[in-house]
Amino acid sequence: MAFVCPDKNCLKCPRLIEFRQGNIAKFPTYYNGPVEPFGSLDAEVLVVGLAPGLNGANQTNRPFTNDYAGDVLYPALKKFGLAQGNYQKRKDDGFELLNVRITNSVRCVPPQNKVTGDEVKACGSYLIEEIASMPRLKVILTLGSVAHNAVLGVLGYRKAAFKFVHNAEHMLDKHGLVMVNSYHTSRYNINTGVLTQAMFDEVIEHIQNLLTTA
């Protein structure tokens, strides 16, 4: 099974198509399509987010880029040797991921940053293809409960058996993978104190330790 990015004019989700059409008219210079993953399929770590931000990845066509969530995510990856370069909120900034790939549960920007269960299911075929196309994959980091449940769903695990807990480690034995949870690096979570940069740094350090001890 080889991973293929969704067509830019993907027609799977009526609500997201309608929102995209409005954004094409409102923001004609934005990418306005299913956002492509960032990083190599040879990576050992896959970070799974929720969905693109309207003025972030939906604009730049790179996950978490020009989005507040990227201001938390990318410095942490660099701090622990999983990225290099200077993150400047542009797809062409030369910032590189090292042994990490970043994707989303839903590839198109949703209204009010909220996705539906049907949209997560519709994008599930891309997520499972992506996971299956990563031969060296060891760790999946899920940012938020939607991503957590999306990964469990496409891999065929009972969601009730794997409770989402920040910095928790779940063994996905059938696939030889470890799943680690983190609260999403959203502005809302940072502003409300649900997540701090230090808390997220601990998650990335946890993952780095998993890679070195595997």
Each residue of 77-92: pLDDT tens digit?
999 999 999 999 999 9
Q: What percent of the chain has pLDDT over 70?
A: 99
**Using one digit for the tens of pLDDT, what is the confidence trace for 174-196?**
999 999 999 999 999 999 999 99
DSSP output for the chain: ----PPPTT--S-HHHHHHHHHHHHH-TTS--SPPPPEE-TT-SEEEEES---TTTHHHHSSTTTTSHHHHHHHHHHHHTTSEES---SSTTS--EESSEEEEESSSSPPGGG---HHHHHHHHHHHHHHHHT-TT--EEEEESHHHHHHHHHHHT--GGGS---TT-EEEEGGGTEEEEEE----HHHHHTTSS-HHHHHHHHHHHHHHHHH-
Reported confidence tier of residue 214, pLDDT bands at 50, 70, 90: low
Cα separation of 164 and 19, whole Å?
30
Q: What percent of the chain has pLDDT over 90?
A: 94
